[in-house]
Amino acid sequence: MTRIAFIGLGIMGLPMAKNLVKAGYDVTGFNRSTEPIDKLVDAGGNGAASIADAVKDADVIITMVPDSPDVEGVVRGEGGVFANAKPGALWIDNSSIRPDVAKELAEEAVAAGFGAVDAPVSGGEQGAIDGVLSIMVGGSPDDFAKAEPVLNAIGKTIVHVGPAGAGQTVKAANQLIVAVNIQALSEAIVFLEAFGVDTAAALTVLGGGLAGSKVLDQKGQKMLDRSFDPGFRLALHNKDLGIVTSAARSVGVTVPLGSAVAQLVNALVARGDGGLDHSGLFKLTSELSGRD
């Protein structure tokens, strides 16, 4: 039985780890707070008191933490993955971080005798629960082949997109598309409500045409209900849009829509709404029109 260490049991990480247990893997989880560890144990997994304890016997180590510094903190140092995992272990980073950091850490991992792939995910909390995430993978073909069976337990669309760092580049593009779609949907709903249209009926017909999207399917009702419990927090999308705009600037690419939406997301986070779901973009859009 393949032994998996799973570091980071948050909104996405915990259901992903549970799905690995369901798939028959021996999963040991670590998280800074203990409640998610207890939930993993209740689901048939194991708990660890430290990163070192979690990874010492693991064949595969998965990290799912918020940002580049968090990943660096997990893998580097005396208590980190690289210092404590057994030689030949495969490291899969499902976090969404800067492509340059992903490439740098992958090179460190390989130099230390590990396999490494950056494998950020898309699909939100529900996708993680259902095990149907889209996963874009960067790394060598050999390491991808080793990671693919594990990723099949948590995702539905798993694609090798290039060398180390490529997965994070594709994820940045994903976050650009999602953010612009959420903003466009927010504007459309504010527009419809201003005219007194039956918005639920309108979204049904819009969803059946070219305007249809997974964003409309998953976020439209949340906006109608003004229900913004986080499936993916605005604070994290703010981080991701910072990655997009910085990376685009570094290669001379203009992202005018992405930059505009990035400012709106940043404004929401700055005023204290970072804990809301990213569909909370609707709040600011509505306020700018004097509707709420």
pLDDT in tens, 146-193: 999 999 999 999 999 999 999 999 999 999 999 999 999 999 999 999
Query: Which pTM was predicted?
Result: 0.93
- Joined together, the tokens standing for residue 277 give 């779901």
CA-based end-to-end distance of the chain: 54
Homologous superfamily (CATH) for 3-163: NAD(P)-binding Rossmann-like Domain (3.40.50.720)
SS3 assignment, position 85: coil
- Which DSSP string do the residues of 22-46 spell out, in sequence order? HTT-EEEEE-SSSHHHHHHHHTT-E
* Spans of all domains in the chain: 3-163, 169-288
The residue with tokens 């700055």 is 270
Please tell me the distance from the alpha carbon of residue 94 to that of residue 91, in angstroms, as a whole number.
Answer: 10
pLDDT value of residue 292: 75
Mean model confidence pLDDT for the chain: 97
169-288 matches 3-163 in CATH topology: no
- Joined together, the tokens standing for residue 215 give 């964003």
SS3 assignment, position 71: helix
**DSSP for residue 86:** P
The rounded Cα 245 to chain-centroid distance in angstroms is 18
Please tell me the distance from the alpha carbon of residue 51 to that of residue 9, in angstroms, as a whole number.
Answer: 12
- Taking the alpha carbons of 255, 247, 252, 171 in that order, is the dihedral positive or negative? negative
Q: Catalytic positions, please?
A: 171
- Which CATH architecture describes the domain 169-288? Orthogonal Bundle (1.10)
The rounded Cα 231 to chain-centroid distance in angstroms is 10
Please tell me the distance from the alpha carbon of residue 292 to that of residue 279, in angstroms, as a whole number.
Answer: 15
pLDDT value of residue 100: 95
pLDDT per position as a tens digit, 88-116:
999 999 999 999 999 999 999 999 999 99
